Amino acid sequence: MTKSAPDNQPVSINGRMGEPWVHLEDGHALANWGKDEEIAYNQMNRQTEKAIFFRRTFDFLTDSRVKGDYFEFGSHRCRTFRMALTEARKHNVQDMHFWAFDSFEGLPELKHASSLEIWKKGALKTAVDDFMRMVNEHGIYTDRVHTVKGYYSDSLTAELHKSFSDQKKKASLITVDCDLYESAIPVFKFIDEFLQEGSVIYMDDLFAGFKGTPLKGIARAFLEYQQKTKWRFIRHLDVGWWGRSYLAYEAKEPVTGIL
C-alpha cells in the first residue's frame, strides 16, 4: 500500500502498466486475510476519504470567504476533529474556534434498532480527558478548542444557545456524526441560528446504520429539519458511500432545476 495517492482515490489503489491497469492483491497476498485485516482496510479507506473531504472543504471555505467556527457533533477518537484542525492550519485560518459536542460517554440508549451491532448504549465512547490529550498531542490551535459534554437533549441548552448568539457566532463547517435520529433532532435545532450562506453541513453517517433508508437516522432528522427552517441546502460533496455534505443558502422561492 502506498503512502500517498491522487486526492480522488483511496491510498490502497495503485496504478500499473498493463491489464487490469491497477494493482490488485492476488490469492497469495490475501491468503491470511481475516476480519482484523478487513476492518483495518476499511478504516484506512474511509478515513482517507474523510481527510480528502476536509482538504477540499477548507479550500472552498477560504476561497469563498466563509468565516466562522467549526462545530462537531460526535467526536469519537478525535479523528475528524484533528482533520479539521490540520486543514484549518494548512489554510492559515486564524479566527476559527473548534467546538466538540459529545456525551463523551458513548451512544445513548437506542430507540430504534440499527443494522450495526456495534451501535449500542455506551459504544463509541471517548472520555473528554482522552479527547483533549489527543488534541494537545496534535498541537494545532489547542487554545481554540472547546468541549461541550453531555447528550444533546441535555447539553444544547437555551443558555448555551444564548451565549453563542450574544457572541454573534456563526458556523462555517458543521460535522454531524451523532448516528441517531433522536440525537440529531436537537443538533439541527441548535445550529439553525448559526448558519450563514455558504455554511457546510457534513453528515458522516447519512447512509449508515439503517441500510440507507431516509426514514431513519440522521437522514430522517435532516429531511424534517428542512421543512422547518428558512435555510435551503444544495448537495455539495459525497464522502464515500456513507456521508454527504450540503451548502446552506437563502432563497424566498423554491429553486427549480437539477444541480
Taking a C-beta distance cutoff of 8 angstroms, is the pair 196, 68 a contact?
yes
- Of 67-71, 134-138, 179-183, the poorest mean pLDDT is in 179-183
Measured distance CA(214)–CA(103) in Å, rounded? 25
- State the Cα–Cα distance between residues 88 and 82, nearest whole angstrom: 10
Spatial distance between the Cα atoms of 208 and 228, rounded to a whole number of angstroms = 24
Mean pLDDT of the chain: 90
> Element (H or E) spanning 145, and its range?
strand 145-149
Name the pTM for this structure. Answer: 0.89
Instruction: For residue 197, give the C-alpha cell.
Output: 450562506
Band (pLDDT 50/70/90 cuts) for residue 117 is low
Position 11 scores a pLDDT of 53
Of the chain, the percentage scoring pLDDT greater than 70 comes to: 88
Q: Taking residues 150-169, report their average pLDDT.
A: 96
> Where residue 4 falls among pLDDT bands split at 50, 70, 90?
very low
Contact partners, residue 135, CB within 8 Å, separation at least 6: 78, 81, 82, 85, 142, 145
Q: 208-246 pLDDT, tens per residue?
A: 878 888 988 899 999 999 999 999 999 999 999 999 999
- For the chain, the structural domain boundaries read 50-250
CATH code at 50-250? 3.40.50.150
The DSSP-derived string for 79-110 is HHHHHHHHHHHHTT--S--EEEEE-SS-----
What's the confidence (pLDDT) of residue 3?
A: 43
Q: What is the pLDDT of residue 28?
A: 97
